[in-house]
Amino acid sequence: MPRLLYLCENINFIVPNANIKLEKVEVMLPGCESLPDVIQDISPDLDSYYLVKRLPVVELVKEEFVKEILRKGHFTGISVGTRVDNHTVVAVLPSGHLILSVDKDLYQELGLSGKPSKYTGRNATRFVVEIDLFNANHSNGKKQYNRVLWSLKDRLNLTFNFIFSWEPINEEKVNFMQLTRLWDKYVLEDLSIVSHTIQKTQTTVVPKLSHNQSLVSTPGDGQDVSSIYEYIGTISCDANQVGGPGIYSSSYTCPEPCEEVKGITCQRWSGLISSEKIKQLLKALRSFVKSDAFVPWAALTVHGFDDSPVSWWRKEHGFHKNGCNLYTILILPDDTYWLYMAIGTNDECP
């Protein structure tokens, strides 16, 4: 049975992002009938990411790639079409780590050292191999480098369909030509972030959150942190059933106390989204909520890929029944935030 684990923290400073791959971002604004311009201007759909098909994994460990691309920007990539519970998954993190989640047979054939997965019981059937590409020993001529190259190319020529995004550190020039030169044998396709809007333009009720409200609810209180999170979920899932005490199909209602707003906008962007974009969105939402009196709070939800091999703080991630790894930041006008971290069954508590 899927296990529940989530944390709720009450903070008043911006939290740096955990190291999870970002697949979807949602912004929820009660009190707005459409996305405000200040958010539209930094919308992630202005960015793009890339798909490269049948890329050999060895291309990601070559010294030239590490020097020219990884060290000069934030490169994030993950294999697509692969499932973390029964295929081999490859991911590259901006910190310079290459993560391979492999099954037992492939691990034995590969010949690289790794750790057994925490989520497969006593007889490990999956292993996680982590290669630090920024390590001093990972350079031409060194034994470790030669071994990795030999395993990934000569021993087993692993290839994957891979999506990635790359943001150079120095903004003077985008050296994308360098990447196309290194990978000239492969086709790079430009993909755009897809955007989807859920809007409720009629008057709706939303939970009323008060200044300095404690996370620990008192007995008899209709509203607690989990019911607020459930409310955010109903908007995000575009709930279309009206519930209530006398209604047969659903008894779900908005948690009390609640207030009326003139509408809700929920904007979702799907694709490989960088953590820098999330920080920009967070900053913009923070100032927007403080400035607009009609918006009682805002919620920013970030979903990671279900099949990512790593999740919170580079710890192992497994799928189990749903593979969820997401967090929601609820922004209040008094500069406080509630951070919800929804942790999957096969994940460690951060």
Among residues 107 and 319, whose Cβ is nearest to another protein? Answer: 319
Measured from the CB of residue 175, what is the shortest distance to another protein in angstroms? Answer: 25
Beta bridge partners of 5: 343
Among residues 261 and 300, whose Cβ is nearest to another protein? Answer: 300
Measured from the CB of residue 323, what is the shortest distance to another protein in angstroms? Answer: 8
Tokens of 321: 């029944």
Measured from the CB of residue 142, what is the shortest distance to another protein in angstroms? Answer: 35
Judged on CB neighbours under 10 Å (0-12, 13-18, 19+), 135 is: middle
Tokens of 107: 């691990």
**Measured distance CA(85)–CA(320) in Å, rounded:** 8
- Nearest of 111, 114, 109, 144 to residue 129 by alpha carbon: 114
Q: Which residues bind another protein (CB under 8 A)?
A: 1-12, 23-24, 26, 51, 53, 80-81, 83, 161, 163, 189, 191, 212, 214-216, 225-226, 229-230, 232-234, 236-241, 243, 248-252, 268, 270, 301, 303, 305-307, 321-324, 326, 328, 336, 342, 349
Measured from the CB of residue 21, what is the shortest distance to another protein in angstroms? Answer: 9
Among residues 140 and 214, whose Cβ is nearest to another protein? Answer: 214
Measured from the CB of residue 48, what is the shortest distance to another protein in angstroms? Answer: 13
Among residues 40 and 251, whose Cβ is nearest to another protein? Answer: 251
For residue 56, what are the CA distances in angstroms to 77, 130, 152, 183?
13, 17, 8, 10
Angle value at C-alpha 12, between 278 and 266, nearest 5 degrees: 40
**Measured distance CA(19)–CA(43) in Å, rounded:** 21
Among residues 174 and 216, whose Cβ is nearest to another protein? Answer: 216
